[in-house]
Structure 1
């Protein structure tokens, strides 16, 4: 049995199909080759860009390192310049001090008698101020302290150097404070205690109505029994009265000693003990009541004085002379 022959149209259709397939395969191959070339070109461009970026980064790092080196060099130069300026400033200050010392030496050499006289006057002022301060602190002599300060002011007025103007003002302020101080409370308290001790001799040793004014039964029993208050029965016998007077004088002496020490608490305690002796040594009377009031007033007297300003002129003089 024989195969029938293929028609020419069928053969042409098959040929066209294979031609189209071959053309499409060629186009696909060309597209693949073109895509591969583009990919390689892109990779090459990226590699070139990365290399260029690395070059730029390296260049920037080099510039930054150079700038840092320059900054360190500038900092070192600034530190060196600052040290040089400090050294020059210290040398300039030293030159100024040496010039001042040379000028002072020249002034002293030009007029040595005047400088010696001023030193003697300042020594005299210092001595007078110290004497005034000690007279007030130790002896309570405010008048003597005022006289010493007045003499110091006269001596200081004889120095015409304007450098001592502040010292004159300080001395004037201290003299004004000393004048406003008034009498020393310690001296006032001691004088009032002395006056009180001297006034005790004027107190009556006995009091009360006489035998005429007493009732008949009291006059009848007066030779046998005498009634006294218990507060006044402590020192009736002569020996006991003498001992009580000695104890009272001792308490007053302790009060005087406390006044000299400016011990207000000790003075009040001694006066309180002295006040307890008065009812035992003297009977009740208006004079004794006045003495008790005087003792109570003595217990309230102040003994301290405000000496905050005292000594400021002397301290300023010594400080100013020490500064040269």
Structure 2
């Protein structure tokens, strides 16, 4: 007897199909889980990577900011160092100048000490040289400024007497030069300015000009019209330049005296230009006071001679002794 056949057990293909379907779903689920896990892990890794990049960027920015701050600090320190260097340079320059000044003062002190230790400077010879230099300077200034020739001569004579007391042969040529200059001063005679002033005074005191011949002619008989109208009208030639009226002659004589006084004042202050101009105007007044005559020519010649006189002394060798003395004293020190 045959057993009944079980539809499930009797069909092996039908039983394997559900198993294969369930395993496929399982594998698919596993694949999805793996893909989801991989995606989650990838997303997580990407997020962490983004976080790390942001942290690195922030860290880089902080480091850059810190580096910039440090660079700014270094620049500030560098500027401060530069200012300190400049200040130190200025201080060193000031110290160098002060040290140089101290060196100069030390040199001056050393020079002063050496001069104090020099027996010739504060001895009798140095005193005589100082006195000689002072006398020569006074004589030269009195002659050039005041025109005092006698005072200059006395100063040079005194300087010669003082210089004779020095026995040093180095000053032998100096004494010879002083003698030559003193002799040149003696040969000058009278000082030109004083001589010109004396001659002007003599001219003003002894001025004698012949009067116009019109007075002598007036004594002759006049024509009837002059006798009739002489008290009303006075006639004289048009080309007449000589003052014949007493008032005109008095004015002309006063003008001449004034010009002589102006010439004397110009000579006293050594104004050569004003001196000559005043004497030139005096010639005009002389021609106004007298007609052409030998007396007038004599007076004009005297005025021109006075105008040609010099007002200052010219001594080519003046000051030679003083200059030589200073050179010798400079060479000695």
TM-score, structure 2 length as denominator? 0.54
Q: Deviations over 1:158-191 (max 9, x none)?
A: 1112222221122122122223333322222222
Q: Using the TM superposition, give the Cα deviation of residue 283 of structure 1 relative to its aligned residue in structure 2, in angstroms.
A: 5.6
Residue 165 of structure 1 corresponds to which residue in structure 2?
Answer: 172
The change in CA–CA distance for 1:219 and 1:190 in structure 2 (over 3 A counts) is farther
Shift of residue 322, structure 1, vs aligned partner: 3.2
SS at match of 1:254: helix
**Equivalent residues of 2:116, 2:122 under 8 A apart:** no
Q: Which has the larger radius of gyration?
A: 2
Q: How does 1:34-183 map to 2 (within 5 A)?
A: 105=117, 108=119, 115-183=122-190
The verdict on how the C-alpha distance between 1:290 and 1:208 changes in structure 2, with shifts beyond 3 A counting, is farther
Residues 116-154 of structure 1: CA deviation (Å, up to 9, x unaligned): 322222222122212221222123232332222111101
Q: Could you tell which deviates more after superposition, 299-308 or 148-157?
A: 299-308
* 2:314 counterpart of 1:316: no
Contact 1:207 1:284 in 2 (8 A): no
Q: Which whole-Å CA distance do the structure 2 matches of 1:185 and 1:305 have between them?
A: 7
Residue of structure 2 in register with 1:194 after alignment: 201
Bigger drift between 179-188 and 222-231 goes to 222-231
State how far apart, in whole Å, the 1-side matches of 2:147 and 2:283 are. 27
Does the CA-based 8 Å contact 2:131-2:162 persist in structure 1?
Answer: yes
Following superposition, the deviation at residue 266 of structure 1 comes to 3.0
How far apart, in 1, do the equivalents of 2:172 and 2:294 lie? 60
Report how far residue 215 of structure 1 moved: 4.4
Distance 1:220 1:245 in 2: 28
User: Separation in 1 of the partners of 2:214 and 2:203?
Assistant: 24
1:272 alignment counterpart: 280
Q: CA–CA distance in 2 between the matches of 1:242 and 1:211?
A: 20
CA shift, 1:245, in A, is 4.0
Q: Give, in whole Å, the separation in 1 of the partners of 2:226 and 2:115.
A: 106
Contact 2:193 2:270 survives alignment (8 Å): yes
Contact 1:126 1:314 in 2 (8 A): yes
Listed one character per residue, the Cα deviations across residues 26-78 of structure 1 (whole Å, up to 9, x for unaligned) are xxxxxxxxxxxxxxxxxxxxxxxxxxxxxxxxxxxxxxxxxxxxxxxxxxxxx
Does residue 1:227 correspond to 2:236, yes or no? yes
Structure 2 contact 177–321 (Cα < 8 Å) conserved: yes
CA distance in 1, matches of 2:214, 2:271: 40
For residues 250 and 219 of structure 2, the distance between their equivalents in structure 1, rounded to whole angstroms, comes to 30
Kept in 2, the 8 Å contact 1:211–1:219? The answer is: no
Q: Distance in 2 between matches of 1:242 and 1:220?
A: 25
Q: Shift of residue 284 of structure 1?
A: 5.8
Q: CA deviation at 1:272?
A: 0.8
Match of 1:185 in 2: 192
Secondary structure of the residue aligned to 2:166 is coil
Q: Please state whether the residue corresponding to 1:231 is helix, strand or coil.
A: coil
- Can you give the 5+ residue segments of structure 1 that lack an aligned partner in the other structure? 1-97
User: Which residue of 232, 236, 244 maps to 2:245?
Assistant: 236
**2:212–2:242 CA contact under 8 A, matched in 1:** no
| Alignment size in residue pairs | 217
Q: 1:85: which partner in 2?
A: none
Question: What is the CA–CA distance in structure 2 between the aligned matches of 1:212 and 1:274, rounded to whole Å?
Answer: 28
CA shift in 2, pair 1:204/1:156, >3 Å:
same
Whether the 8 Å CA contact 1:256–1:267 is kept in 2: the answer is yes
The 5-angstrom pairing of residues 246-261 of structure 1 reads: 246-261=254-269
Q: Give the direction of change, closer, same or farther, for the CA distance of 1:320–1:212 in structure 2 (3 Å limit).
A: closer
Q: Is the 8 A contact 1:132 1:149 kept in 2?
A: yes
Distance 1:197 1:102, change over 3 A: closer
